[in-house]
Amino acid sequence: MLSPLLLAAARSGRMRDVITSVPLTRGVVDRFVAGDDLGAALEAVRELRDGGLEVTLDHLGEDTREPAQARATRTAYLRLFEAFEEQGLAGGSDASVKLSALGQALPGDLALDHAREICSAAGRVGMTVTLDMEDHTTVDSTLEVLGKLRVDFPWVGVAVQAMLRRTEGDLRDLVGEGSRVRLVKGAYAEPASVAFQSRHEVDRAYVRALRRLMRGDGYPMVASHDPRIVEIALSLAAERSPASYEFQMLYGIRAAEQRRLAQAHQMRVYVPYGADWYGYFMRRLAERPANLAFFLRSFVSR
């Protein structure tokens, strides 16, 4: 019952003002976000890489309504690539990009143009890019941008959400050779007309999509903390070479399991950083009621 409320709050400007103005929130946010700036992100990345984990970096921000803000997000990614190259962290690393932060909702091809610049800079330093998937109204546009980017940058990946009814159909075009697909359950509040609503239905849809990806010729990225999903993925991957798929988890969630999997498999951690953490943080609270309790306790225990 709480999840839809928290997901609605994730999009509320008024709630954003309240929650981000409380200094105590910060301590809880730090569990899920590597820090406000690139320096903090680099520190987290070094630690993860020392532990044998790969990374994908997300410069936080979404739903940009201002061209200047979209440009600033693009610039933040360009700085990230420079820093990764300078510090010898680029090889094998990935950047996760939300097209809504690059101007997807603004007129023209702004998001595509920014994404092209980002891909071009990532390619120069030997990094890859994966497009995050946002709410269902953006899926057509995101897949269209993906198709255009892949003409010049065939290594660009995309996230697909098992909860969306359309995903099984979308996968038909995404299982070809070289196609990098991150399979997630889906983090947005969606209506029943477009998305499975029960946990059970979403999990079953996830497994169907996973089977399809594992049987295909692409590069499946299994992004879930769910132990049953991880087990199923391991058994489906038994026929594949270890270099032909990877696991992914979010920064701060099931860290011990991340390190355990990394001993025998490719394991990538999604590392968000930046000051605009509100929407990301609220989705993490919505995923797990215990996170909300932890968040509320941090107020009461002061």
Binding to ligand FDA in span 229-268, by CB under 6 A: 248-250, 253-254
Contact between 277 and ligand FDA by CB under 6 A: the answer reads: no
Query: Which helix (DSSP H) or strand (DSSP E) does residue 240 occupy?
Result: none
- Shortest Å, Cβ 206 to ligand FDA: 7
How far apart are alpha carbons 71 and 76 in whole angstroms? 9
Contact between 133 and ligand FDA by CB under 6 A: the answer reads: yes
Stretch that binds ligand FDA, among 10-18, 33-41, 59-67, 283-291 (CB under 6 A): 283-291
Which lies closer to ligand FDA via its Cβ, residue 68 or residue 134? Answer: 134
CB 252 within 8 A of CB 34: no
Contact between 132 and ligand FDA by CB under 6 A: the answer reads: yes
In single-letter form, the type of residue at position 150 comes to R
Token pair of 238, please? 């038994």
Alpha-carbon dihedral angle through residues 273, 275, 276, 280, given to the nearest 10 degrees: 40
- The region, left, alpha or beta by phi > 0 then psi within -120 to 50, assigned to residue 188 is beta
Contact between 224 and ligand FDA by CB under 6 A: the answer reads: yes
- Shortest Å, Cβ 277 to ligand FDA: 14
Contact between 184 and ligand FDA by CB under 6 A: the answer reads: yes
Q: Binder to ligand FDA among 185, 190, 266, 278 (CB under 6 A)?
A: 185
CB 112 within 8 A of CB 148: yes
Number of residues that bind ligand FDA (CB under 6 A): 24
Which lies closer to ligand FDA via its Cβ, residue 214 or residue 249? Answer: 249
Which lies closer to ligand FDA via its Cβ, residue 83 or residue 159? Answer: 159
> Can you list the pairs that 42-47 forms with residues at least 24 positions away whose Cβ atoms lie under 8 Å?
42/83, 42/87, 42/89, 44/251, 44/271, 44/273, 45/89, 45/93, 45/271, 46/87, 46/89
Is 148 assigned to a binding site?
no
- Shortest Å, Cβ 280 to ligand FDA: 10
Q: Which residues are CB-contacts of 199 (< 8 A; sequence separation ≥ 6)?
A: none
CB 139 within 8 A of CB 170: yes
Contact between 223 and ligand FDA by CB under 6 A: the answer reads: yes
In single-letter form, the type of residue at position 66 comes to E
Is 133 assigned to a binding site?
yes
Q: Binder to ligand FDA among 60, 179, 287, 292 (CB under 6 A)?
A: 287
How far apart are alpha carbons 220 and 119 in whole angstroms? 20
Q: Is 42 helix (H, G, I), strand (E, B) or coil?
A: helix
Q: Which residues are catalytic?
A: 132, 182
Token pair of 101, please? 């932060």
Contact between 284 and ligand FDA by CB under 6 A: the answer reads: yes
Contact between 48 and ligand FDA by CB under 6 A: the answer reads: no
Which residues are at the interface with ligand FDA (CB under 6 A)?
Answer: 132-133, 159, 161, 182, 184-188, 223-226, 248-250, 253-254, 270, 284, 287-288, 291
Known binding-site positions = 98, 133, 161, 185-187, 224-225, 283-284
Known binding-site positions for FAD = 133, 161, 185-187, 224-225
